[in-house]
Structure 1
Amino acid sequence: MEDVSKQFTTTYNVSIPWVDLTYTGGPLKTDVKTCIGGKNNDMIFIFGGWPLNGPFISQFDTSKQQWINITSVNREDISCTNFNNGLVAIFSGMSSSSTIPNDRLIFKYININMEFKQCSKCTSTRFGYCAITLPDEKIFYILVELALLIHLLCQ
């Protein structure tokens, strides 16, 4: 990890201030999503990914340089977005049985608690999307696959 608050040059790489992030046993997965959290934003949370047989949430404590596997849910193609009150919202995704559930997962990173909530007001199931928390804490979803599908159908 690079500390860009200090002066460095890009031509002389020895001058770049690096923090050693040697592999410390974290999850070896693809298609993961990340959010930061913890009381001091000193935790990195990795959600989802493939293969599905590993933990759904892994936590990296940056002060201890230590990984903790939290829970298994078996979802991929999700996105997460975090809020100021210690919550991370995860909507839908694809399960291990290739179904797309219409639910919402709420992860409370302060007390490491996961809740499943049915999403009765949600318009449709989603997977392979990007979620962004706006300043008013509303969630903005970007559905890349749907936009690509619409583009392909309109050609």
Structure 2
Amino acid sequence: MVQEFGRFEFTLRDAVALGLPQAASDERIRAGLAAAFAKDLPLDTQQWGGNGISGGQRQRLALARTHLRNAGVWILDEPTSAIDAEAEREIFAELRRTKYSRITIVVSHHAWTLIEMDRIYVIDGGSVVQQGTYPELMSQPDGRFARLFATRQE
């Protein structure tokens, strides 16, 4: 999922199922929405125009589409950038809970979202300059990762 997710003038039901090779039942769509912590949105809501929904809700729809497809590899670029802190924690907890069912690559500039990742790769100038777990990388005070997050208040 990329940070710039699509916005379509469809109902919520159609937007979540967009691109599936076959029709999805309302039950499957609701399961995808629940996994993205957007279960309380009515399926007949339009996500663009009409009723309109927020950027965070649109981002949850993109996550719901990702869940519905259940691919073996997920690449998520700042998947919660428009989502409130409480929901962000819930989404990352769900990603941790289900991490054994797929490969998940998360691109993030927020240290706390990386704390429980199995492996972190630090890219600088187009090259991997460090790799390790959060504690390993933070224990290297002269490393790029520790320097980057030592200057940020998160």
After TM superposition, the score normalised by the length of structure 2 is: 0.24
Greater helix fraction, Structure 1 or Structure 2: 2
After TM superposition, the score normalised by the length of structure 1 is: 0.23
